[in-house]
Structure 1
Amino acid sequence: MPYFDAYLIPVRPSQLPAYRDFSKKVGAVYREHGATRTTDIILDDSDQPAASFHAEEAREGLGDETRTFLDAAAGTAGETVILSWTQWPDKDARDRGLAAALSDPRVQPDPEDGVIFEGRRLVAGAFKHLGDW
């Protein structure tokens, strides 16, 4: 059963080219170590307010209490958010592959690139597959 690692990453727009280059490099290494897919998506800044994703009746009483992806990532003004995930064939393949990938020197940030994003604000988790509907 597929297994996923997901990341929510706040990034300054000026760092997007560096992030894209780094993520492509890391994705290739992850695939060498067994990942079946790596994907990055970026928040659409023209998107609707978070409350608009709730059914009309569920919106009643929400006010401004809904959280956004930028909130969840502790993003600041002028930042955007990348939602990134890596798909693995199963949890065992992920455990082996991720350990191998993270020990690979090619996934280490290049100091010459500077700070692409603040690792302390990266939100990460591992997920079991629930279904494709």
Structure 2
Amino acid sequence: MSYVDGFVLPVPEKNLAAYRKLARKSGRIWREHGALAYVECVADDVEPGKVTSFPQSVKLKPGEVVVFSWAVYKSRRHRDQVIKKVMADPRLGDSMDPKKLPFDAMRMFWGGFKPFIEL
């Protein structure tokens, strides 16, 4: 079995290129420090729901798009080791400063998940 971190966030369409650049850099660093996979996806078919949905979950505003991302690790312990290395990596510098991110970090959510089925 593995372990997965999942992220959902709103990105202004005008900042999508800047986000892509940051995500590409971050993904390389995650992989270098041991993540087995790193994937960034932009919403393609995520209509607002009646009760809940991806757009509602991040309080999507006009001109924004939902991004769904995940990283895969060997285990929770491995994830914790990778994250510790990633957060200490000087190449990220101040690019993780919430004031300098190309999206509203206050509307981002994430969490760690233990798969219970892997096919």
TM-score by length of 1: 0.79
Listed as ranges, the gaps of 5+ residues in structure 1 are: 52-64
* Deviation (angstroms), 1:41: 0.9
- Residue 130 in structure 1 maps to residue 86 in structure 2: no
Structure 2 residue 84 is matched with structure 1 residue 99: yes
Q: Deviations over 1:6-42 (max 9, x none)?
A: 1001001111111111001001111111100000111
Aligned partners of 2:46 and 2:53 also within 8 Å: no
The alignment partner of 1:27 has SS state of: helix
The question of 1:73 aligning with 2:58 is answered yes
Output aligned runs, 1:1-133, within 5 Å: 1-44=1-44, 47=45, 49=47, 65-108=50-93, 109=95, 114-133=100-119
What letter matches 2:69 in structure 1? S
Give the gaps of 5 or more residues in structure 2: none
Q: Is the alpha carbon distance of 1:48 and 1:76 closer, same or farther for their aligned partners in structure 2, counting shifts above 3 Å?
A: closer
Deviations for 1:83-123, whole angstroms, at most 9, x for unmatched residues? Answer: 00000111111011111101112224178xx5401111111
Report sequence identity in percent.
Answer: 29
Q: Decide whether the 8 Å contact of 1:5 with 1:86 is kept in 2.
A: yes
Q: Normalising to structure 2: TM-score of the pair?
A: 0.87
- How many residues matched? 116
RMSD over equivalenced CA pairs, Å: 1.9
Question: Which letter does structure 2 place at the counterpart of 1:14?
Answer: K
Give the AA of the match of 1:39. V
Matched residue SS, 1:11 = strand
Alignment partners' CA distance in 1, 2:18 and 2:38: 17
1:9–1:83 CA contact under 8 A, matched in 2: yes
Which is greater in Rg?
Answer: 1
